[in-house]
Structure 1
Amino acid sequence: MVIVEVVLETYDAVDFTAWPIAEPSRDRLLSLSGQMSPAEVGTAMAVIFSYNGIPVTHAADLTEAHLEQHLAEAECLIAPGGLRFHDTTTDVSVSPGCCFGLENWRDW
């Protein structure tokens, strides 16, 4: 069976300290799903904020309204990553390459 996952590159979360984030995986790809831990959601948000140059507020000062305001003010959010294909029969994975982020997934 072939599994297709949306993944986010987590390089932009390195040394991020504004709120808790997950330890990076070996391949620096984070699979996005409804089963992510709070720390993984924190990592995804850290990447989105860092990659898009959105001002970061430390978790102690961050409210839901503040977060929504920052995201709403962003003109176009993009994220590094793409689709990862994994064949469970052969245990072979194909990860996204550079220069083709999640914002282009419909072009694939």
Structure 2
Amino acid sequence: MRPAVEVMRLNAVPLWHFAQRDPLSWLVLHAACTDDEVGLFLALLADRYGVLTGPDPAWIMEALLAEEMIDISGGVLVHDSKSGVTIAPSCCCGLADWREWQQAPAGVAPWMGHSPDPEMEFHETQLRLWQNGDDRRPGTHVDVPRSALSALLAGVRQDLIGFLDALRAWARQHGCADLVDAFIAKADADLAVSAELIPAGLTTGGAV
């Protein structure tokens, strides 16, 4: 279970180096992201808010700081290494929605987007995820043990915290030292990164 953003086709070419990824692929966020991967993230974010054509990275970062809230297409990517099945967020799911997964033990499905419509089934010991709730072919789901969810979400949180550190380093290297603290604080707050997770005992409930 990893935090990830969806790679979209950019409407402009960034002023900095960025990782080349196919449109509709996924960029996993973590502390070890390269400078080019961080550059891709910032390009996707700036393009989403129509400021990628700004004159320099500092101008772009300042424009993003002026937004009431920043978010980016993405969420929680769930991969089963044994089956090879991956459940990805769909359209209109944002990275900031990732904490909705805390409510799953109480029988409340997180928002995972639509078209296709990812769906979560609630079983006694596991949460079963389908990429498309209308297409439940055998072997196309991922089971997440209820007992493992808290640790998995803690891992997502740590990945995001680590990515903010990588983003901070990138910003300092690209002339944004005067803005970096404010920008990281905004990204932390808007994407719900570093706040403590709700203890599992406060969200658990009976399986449906």
**Shared fold per TM-score greater than 0.5:** yes
1:6 to 3, 6, 24: 3
| Residue pair 2:9, 2:23 contacting (<8 A) in 1 also | no
More strand by share: 1
| Residue pair 2:49, 2:64 contacting (<8 A) in 1 also | no
2:48 to 42, 51, 75: 51
Please say which structure displays the higher CA radius of gyration: 2
Q: Give the match's secondary structure for 2:77.
A: strand
Q: Give the match's secondary structure for 1:83.
A: strand
- State how many pairs are aligned: 101
Q: Distance in 1 between matches of 2:11 and 2:40?
A: 9
Range with greater deviation from structure 2 (66-75 or 87-96): 66-75
Please, which runs of 5 or more residues in structure 1 have no aligned partner? Answer: none
TM-fit CA distance, 1:24: 0.2
1:88 to 81, 92, 105: 81
The percent identity for this pair of structures is 25
Cα shift readout 1:5-49 (whole Å, capped 9, x = no counterpart): 111111143652322110104752100111101000000000111
Larger relative CO (CA 8 A, sep 6+): 1 or 2?
1
Q: Distance in 2 between matches of 1:75 and 1:99?
A: 18
TM-fit CA distance, 1:103: 2.2
Cα shift readout 1:62-96 (whole Å, capped 9, x = no counterpart): 34xx4542332121101011111011122221111
Matching residue of 2:33:
36
Q: TM-score, normalised by structure 2?
A: 0.43
| Residue pair 2:5, 2:29 contacting (<8 A) in 1 also | yes
Taking a change above 3 Å as real, the CA distance of residues 95 and 14 of structure 1, as seen in their structure-2 partners, is farther
Q: Distance in 2 between matches of 1:77 and 1:37?
A: 22
Q: Distance in 2 between matches of 1:35 and 1:47?
A: 19
Q: TM-score, normalised by structure 1?
A: 0.77
Taking a change above 3 Å as real, the CA distance of residues 42 and 88 of structure 1, as seen in their structure-2 partners, is same
CA RMSD of aligned residues (A): 2.2
| Residue pair 2:8, 2:24 contacting (<8 A) in 1 also | no
Q: Give the match's secondary structure for 1:11.
A: coil
